[in-house]
Amino acid sequence: EAYLNAAQAQGAVQDDAVAEFESFIDVLKAQPKFAAILASAMLPGEEKLSLLEKAIASDASPIFWNFLTIVAKRNRLDILEAICFESRRRLDEIRGRIPVTITTATELDGPILENLSEKLRGVLGGEPIILSQVDPETIGGLVVRVGDTIYDASLLTQLKNVRQQMIDRSANEIQRRRDSFRNPEGN
């Protein structure tokens, strides 16, 4: 949140600041050796800052560079990805954007995704940020995850529920008939 506040205080667009941060994290993921050096506890913060300066200082915005400088001096470059994730989460929260994961058996096309997005917008009261996943085991239907809440309308779950109902009914019928043999005068 401090990064977002600093960006706003310096007149930057918070969305741009977070996008720059995410781009930097993508570069670190593409260069795991460089990321490991930055995360290493063996190298002092000043040396890490020197490496960063050579690598990105000329391309980074002043806000992002100041942020990296502070994080490097505090020797906390090992948690950059977590800070970035939290910055995105917080910015989405501020903007009323809600992450939603939709899992289906097949890839959803544009019109279907747009229709789902419109319906979710009305239900959630915010702008859904949809991550679409494919899981063939879903068979049909969909599973929607919003935060910790899961709405499961998949065919797989419906089939499991029907199966369980059949098992429960069979068990109840067996129990009822067994009870009728034990207690014949009750019939």
Task: Based on the fold, state whether residues 86 and 39 are members of the same structural domain.
Answer: yes
Tell whether 64 and 132 lie within a shared domain.
Answer: no
Q: What's the pLDDT at 161?
A: 83
Q: Please check whether residues 7 and 64 belong to one and the same domain.
A: yes
Write down the pLDDT at residue 178.
86
Question: Structurally, how many domains does the chain consist of?
Answer: 2
**Contacts of residue 91, Cβ cutoff 8 Å, sequence gap at least 6:** 4, 14, 15, 18
- Do 79 and 154 fall within a single domain? no
Choosing from 92, 111, 141, the residue where a domain stops is: 92
The reply to whether 108 and 54 lie within a common domain is no
The residue from 69, 92, 115 where one domain ends is 92
57-89: b (≥16 Cβ within 10 Å) or e? eeebeebbbebbbebbeeeebeebbebbeebbe
Same-domain pairing of 41 and 111: no
Question: Of 92, 111, 126, which closes a domain?
Answer: 92
Tens digits of pLDDT across the chain (187 residues): 788 888 888 777 888 999 999 999 999 999 999 999 999 989 888 899 999 999 998 899 999 999 999 999 998 999 999 999 999 999 999 999 999 999 999 999 999 999 999 999 999 999 999 999 999 988 888 899 998 899 988 878 888 888 899 999 988 988 888 888 887 665 5
- Which domain does 130 fall in, by range? 97-187
pTM recorded for the entire structure: 0.67
3-state secondary structure 102-134: EEECCCCCHHHHHHHHHHHHHHHCCEEEEEEEE
Residues 122 and 60 in one domain: no
